[in-house]
Amino acid sequence: MKAAITRAAREVGYSLGSSANADPPGREQTLHQILRGRGYQPYQAEPGLLRLRNCPFHSVAASYPELVCGLNLALIEGLLAGLGDNPENALLAPEEGACCVAIRTSATNDRERPR
């Protein structure tokens, strides 16, 4: 069941990204717009790392963090793939008071993931 829900989240994300028709130079801006539109409140935490100030599913995540964080990750992986970016740029990077997912942007694509 969890695999099916994760797959569905990834598919929804892919659909959001692919329907945006973003060209490579505008992908990052489009990513910000889609995330803002979904309530994530993206911001550039440091060069090459996009963080999300808000988890739209915070009330459920408080009780089921593993499930909700996994679904957020799958959704954003799908979104990145739909935009034509590497889905592995989405990573679990929990931070108090924020979404558990962060996104490596073009400035860090060749670096290690944050620890």
Whole-model pTM: value is: 0.88
Euclidean distance between CA atoms 86 and 41, whole angstroms: 21
Upper half-sphere CA count for residue 18 (Cβ side, 13 Å): 12
Euclidean distance between CA atoms 89 and 95, whole angstroms: 17
User: In the chain, where are the structural domains located?
Assistant: 2-108
Number of Cβ atoms within 10 Å of the Cβ of 110:
8
pLDDT digits (tens, 9 = 90+) for 11-26: 999 999 999 987 888 8
Instruction: Return the pLDDT at 33.
Output: 95
Closest by alpha carbon to 61, among 29, 90, 100?
100
pLDDT digits (tens, 9 = 90+) for 82-112: 999 999 999 999 988 899 999 999 754 444 4
Average pLDDT of the chain, as a whole number: 89
**Taking CA 105 as the corner, what is the angle to CA 102 and CA 110, rounded to the nearest 5 degrees?**
110
Closest by alpha carbon to 103, among 42, 58, 56, 15?
42
